């Protein structure tokens, strides 16, 4: 018991140590105080549950770097206008049992809902294509050069505030079709200036964010990056692009690179490593491990000890779990004690629209997170269609409050 690689500590390039190889990977909780976009008591309760659960690293759900560019109405934003008190509590509660807590920081770019009443900006004015659901997302405008610079500075400002609030690190979200991943993608980034065209230009936003954060925070503060292994779209960010990006990130003082995949348009984030498609994903992770000089984290479909060991044996340093920890938050502690682990997987519905099926799956996971945030037991066998309807309704209600409170402030 406890002798497996899973519970071997890991030294990070920044000189700190993670007590084991399990990370609670980022999951949008939609539990912020909607009016202020700050962490709520309910959100903090959820992290108290995860803190007790034994993960080595807890990565928060994505936190927006700009409150006027929100991905969802229940998301947290951390910027110069934020009151840090609840952020300090969030960090302290998450660290209390020995985990490191990293804040994932993000900007949605074009992946922004219409019902929030915000203007979306993206590398190019290309809207999201998610079939019948496309009209739920904004028509973006092309970001002017000066705005690209100010967004980079916002990432840096949020990272500094996260450090001030007591987080151990940040993870820059450069995956899943959000702003930085839009810049990386030749399908969506049609710019002809220094931010578009060649792979080096498309990656300039990511490299600038990472370089400037590293220079602005203490050397022991972790700087991680989440990238797609691929967008899974023809002509998009490809596996060979990912290998090149990892090659440069090696030189920028990064402490961990997390590999994922997909976007709203091609939701492969729910890919399963323990399926036939998943093993191809693991094969790709091995290629990345060969070129990376920093610890690699792999997330997607991991819930069983055997799969964790298989992934770690492939040279991956950290296994990232989200769904499994939303269902069984103390899974690491139970594993270490050698206890039987209840099934920690959802079954995404087999609907023809992959986007709606992915949204329903997210609904099931969020249902469980809400349960834990209220101190209730998880009941993860809720039907995806119910979870989808509930999530849709809650999202609609939050968006109304969001719009009303923002309007009152503007008036
Ligand atoms: C409800 C939910 C919310 C998510 N939110 C985020 C997020 O905020 N940031 C992120 O990088 N990934 C997010 N993801 C993707 C996960 O981090 C992860 O890549 C994906 O769920 C696959 O891992 P799993 O099979 O362990 O769930 C989310 C996934 C779920 C289910």
Q: Is the CB of 74 under 6 A from ligand 1?
A: no
Question: Which residue's CA is the closest to the ligand 1 atom numbered 28?
Answer: 27
Considering the domain boundaries, does residue 186 fall inside one? yes
Considering the domain boundaries, does residue 389 fall inside one? no
Contacts (Cβ under 8 Å, ≥6 apart) of 280:
none
* 411: pLDDT strictly greater than 80: no
Structure confidence at residue 281 (pLDDT): 74
Structure confidence at residue 94 (pLDDT): 98
The stretch 123-130 carries a mean pLDDT of 93
Q: Is the CB of 28 under 6 A from ligand 1?
A: yes
Confidence of residue 300 (pLDDT cuts 50, 70, 90): confident
Closest Cα to residue 321, out of 231, 255, 260, 230?
260
pLDDT tens, position by position, 178-208:
999 999 999 999 999 999 999 999 999 999 9
Q: Is the CB of 61 under 6 A from ligand 1?
A: yes
Indicate the top mutation candidate among 22, 23, 24, 28 to test ligand 1's pocket, ranked by most ligand atoms within 8 A of CB. Answer: 28
Containing domain of residue 150, as a range?
A: 5-344
What is the Å distance from ligand 1's center to 362 Cα?
8
Question: Which residue's CA is the closest to the ligand 1 atom numbered 4?
Answer: 27
Structure confidence at residue 19 (pLDDT): 97
CATH code of the domain containing 70: 3.20.20.70
Considering the domain boundaries, does residue 383 fall inside one? no
What is the Å distance from ligand 1's center to 27 Cα?
5
Please state the atom number of ligand 1 nearest to the C-alpha of residue 321. 26
Considering the domain boundaries, does residue 166 fall inside one? yes
pLDDT tens, position by position, 262-295:
667 666 655 444 454 555 578 888 999 999 999 9
Question: How many domains are contained in the chain?
Answer: 1
* More confident: 408 or 146: 146
Considering the domain boundaries, does residue 409 fall inside one? no
Considering the domain boundaries, does residue 219 fall inside one? yes
Considering the domain boundaries, does residue 113 fall inside one? yes
Please state the atom number of ligand 1 nearest to the C-alpha of residue 323. 27
Considering the domain boundaries, does residue 402 fall inside one? no
Q: Two tokens at 1?
A: 């018991």
* 1: pLDDT strictly greater than 50: no
């Amino acid at each position: 018991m406890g002798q497996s690689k899973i519970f071997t500590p890991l030294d990070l390039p920044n000189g700190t140590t993670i007590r084991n190889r399990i990370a609670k990977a980022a999951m949008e909780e939609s539990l912020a105080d909607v009016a202020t976009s700050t962490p709520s008591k309910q959100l903090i309760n959820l992290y108290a549950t995860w803190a007790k659960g034994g993960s080595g690293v807890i990565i928060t759900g994505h936190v927006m770097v700009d409150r006027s560019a929100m991905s969802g109405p229940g998301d947290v934003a951390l910027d110069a206008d934020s009151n840090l008190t609840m952020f300090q509590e969030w960090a302290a509660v998450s660290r209390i049992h020995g985990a490191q807590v990293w804040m994932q920081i993000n900007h949605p770019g074009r992946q922004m809902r219409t019902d929030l009443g915000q203007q979306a900006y993206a590398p190019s004015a290309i809207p999201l294509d998610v079939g019948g659901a496309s009209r739920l997302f904004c028509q973006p405008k092309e970001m002017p050069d000066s705005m690209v610079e100010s967004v980079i500075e916002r990432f840096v400002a949020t990272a500094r505030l996260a450090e001030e609030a007591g987080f151990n690190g940040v993870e820059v979200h450069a995956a899943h079709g959000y702003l930085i991943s839009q810049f990386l993608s030749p399908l969506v980034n049609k710019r002809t200036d220094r931010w578009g065209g060649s792979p080096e230009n498309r990656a300039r936003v990511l490299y600038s964010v990472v370089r400037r954060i590293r220079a602005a925070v203490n050397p022991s503060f972790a700087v991680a990056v989440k990238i797609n292994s691929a967008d899974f779209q023809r002509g998009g960010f490809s596996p060979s692009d990912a290998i090149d990006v990892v090659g440069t990130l090696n030189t920028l003082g990064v402490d961990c690179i997390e590999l994922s995949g997909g976007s709203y348009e091609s939701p492969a984030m729910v890919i399963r490593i323990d399926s036939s498609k998943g093993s191809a994903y693991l094969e790709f992770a091995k290629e990345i491990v060969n070129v990376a000089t920093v610890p690699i984290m792999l997330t997607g479909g991991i819930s069983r000890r055997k799969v964790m060991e298989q992934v770690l044996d492939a040279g991956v340093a950290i296994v990232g779990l989200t769904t499994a920890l939303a269902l069984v938050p103390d899974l690491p502690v139970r594993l270490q004690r050698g206890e039987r682990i209840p099934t920690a997987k959802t079954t995404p519905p087999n609907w023809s629209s992959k986007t709606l099926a992915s949204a329903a799956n997210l609904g099931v996971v969020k249902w469980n997170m809400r349960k834990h945030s209220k101190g209730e037991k998880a009941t993860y066998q809720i039907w995806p269609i119910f979870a989808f309807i509930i999530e849709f309704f809650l999202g609609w209600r939050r968006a109304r409050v969001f719009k009303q409170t923002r309007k009152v402030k503007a008036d």
